[in-house]
Amino acid sequence: MDYELVIIGAGPAGLTAGLYAARAEIKTVILEKISPGGQVLNTDWVDNYPGFPEGLSGFDLVDKMRAHAERFGVEIRSAEVSSLAGRDTGFELALAGEKVTTGAVILATGAHPRPLGVEGEAEFIGRGVSYCATCDGPFYKNATLAVVGGGDSAVEEAIYLTRFADRVYIIHRRDKFRAVEFIAKRALDNDKITPVWDTVVEKIAGREQVEAVHLKNVKTGEPSVLEVNGVFSFVGLIPDSELVVDLADRDDIGFVLTDEDMRTRTPGLFVAGDVRHKLLRQISTAVGDGATAAFAAQHYLENLLAR
Ligand code: NAP
């Protein structure tokens, strides 16, 4: 076997699992297709991770997590996993031009933004349509922007975008934000933010760049057009769980079902972080999942190797 444990994904869940596994002297690799950090890298400021009372940037937090895991000797490799299959004992993963074998796997692949699914969205990606305020916000100095959604991401990122834009409309399909009260209040108190309640986006329009969003009030059916320079969409997450389609049960959106010890129905396959079906998706809960998954994997491997 090449490794005792392979962790797929180097966000907070994967990095924490790596730290715990390496500290328990399990031969571990974390495979990450882009760079360590996951979705936290798209977060400008993290205000609710314990131990950092002043808050810190998403980049700084994951950099500390990476350094911490590496201090205990975990290997982090840049590699995309194209398939994961169970063997008699353990698992085989296919990477580009290479097969890797392991006794146990922790899937910590996270989730990606759900597309809005309206006309013009795909056409204007990179030309006014974005899913990452920290990446693209600075391009919109003195602009007028539309943010779509009403959850924590939409409301927090709308507040962040007011650093650059003169006006940020939050277009939400209901008349109350889903975001936690504290974040919602900060947005409602911000005089650069205008909520547009009970409204959905039907079309994103423009020539070279986004110039307008076509809206519809869901209560009255009344259409309207709002002139904007950009559209930032935050309408939820799609889990990156395709690798375990045949190995684990998933809910109707695709989040993976586990028991409370992060086990799936396949012995030796554990799942941690945002890709898992759970109540609360936070950095702190991802970290907890990662620690639990590593500990459960350690027990699994001890039994496997004692056979
Ligand atoms: P979310 O909580 O699932 O919210 C998605 C929002 O988009 C909801 O308001 C939903 O409306 C709306 N929506 C969904 N589909 C839509 C559509 N087709 N058209 C228009 N609107 C649509 O997603 P999220 O905000 O990305 O957050 C994901 C997870 O990360 C959550 O668990 C969240 O708590 C967590 N998170 C936490 C923080 C933090 O703690 N600081 C920051 C960011 C994210 P309805 O409300 O009507 O369903």
What tens digit of pLDDT does each residue of 222-259 get? 999 999 999 999 999 999 999 999 999 999 999 999 99
Active site members = 132, 135-136
* Protein residue with its CA nearest to atom 46 in ligand 1: 178
CA of 123 to the centre of ligand 1 (A): 23
Given phi > 0 = left and psi -120 to 50 = alpha, else beta, which region is 126? left
Closest listed residue to residue 20, CA positions, set 106, 92, 111: 106
The 10 Å Cβ neighbour count of residue 245 is 11
CB of 276 within 6 A of ligand 1: the answer is no
- How many whole angstroms separate alpha carbon 88 and alpha carbon 108? 23
Q: Is the pLDDT of residue 214 over 90?
A: yes
* Protein residue with its CA nearest to atom 26 in ligand 1: 236
Asked whether 119 and 202 are in contact (CB, 8 A), the reply is: yes
Q: Is the pLDDT of residue 305 over 80?
A: no
The 10 Å Cβ neighbour count of residue 83 is 12
Rg (CA), the chain: 21
CA of 169 to the centre of ligand 1 (A): 16
CB of 151 within 6 A of ligand 1: the answer is yes
CA of 297 to the centre of ligand 1 (A): 31
Average pLDDT over residues 66-88: 96
Residue ranges of domains in the chain, CATH in brackets = 3-112+237-306 (3.50.50.60), 115-233 (3.50.50.60)
Best mutation site among 47, 152, 196, 275 for ligand 1, i.e. most ligand atoms within 8 A of its Cβ? 152
CA of 152 to the centre of ligand 1 (A): 6
Average pLDDT over residues 69-82: 96
CB of 238 within 6 A of ligand 1: the answer is no
Average pLDDT over residues 188-216: 98
| Atom nearest to 149 CA in ligand 1 | 7
Which helix (H) or strand (E) segment holds residue 67: the answer is helix 58-71
pLDDT, tens digit, for every residue of 41-55? 988 889 899 999 999
Note the pLDDT of residue 47: 87
pLDDT, tens digit, for every residue of 116-133? 999 999 999 999 999 999
- How many whole angstroms separate alpha carbon 140 and alpha carbon 17? 38
Note the pLDDT of residue 307: 63
- How many whole angstroms separate alpha carbon 12 and alpha carbon 284? 8
- When the pLDDT of each residue in the chain is averaged and rounded to a whole number, the result is 96
Give Cα separations from 35 to 32, 95, 218, 237 (angstroms).
6, 16, 40, 20
Question: What's the pLDDT band for 195 if we cut at 50, 70, 90?
Answer: very high
Best mutation site among 173, 177, 185, 289 for ligand 1, i.e. most ligand atoms within 8 A of its Cβ? 173
What is this structure's pTM?
Answer: 0.88
Question: What's the pLDDT band for 135 if we cut at 50, 70, 90?
Answer: confident
Asked whether 117 and 125 are in contact (CB, 8 A), the reply is: no
Give the torsion sign (CA, 73, 10, 283, 186).
Answer: positive
pLDDT, tens digit, for every residue of 143-188? 999 999 999 999 999 999 999 999 999 999 999 999 999 999 999 9
Torsion of the alpha carbons at 271, 276, 280 and 282, rounded to the nearest 10: 60
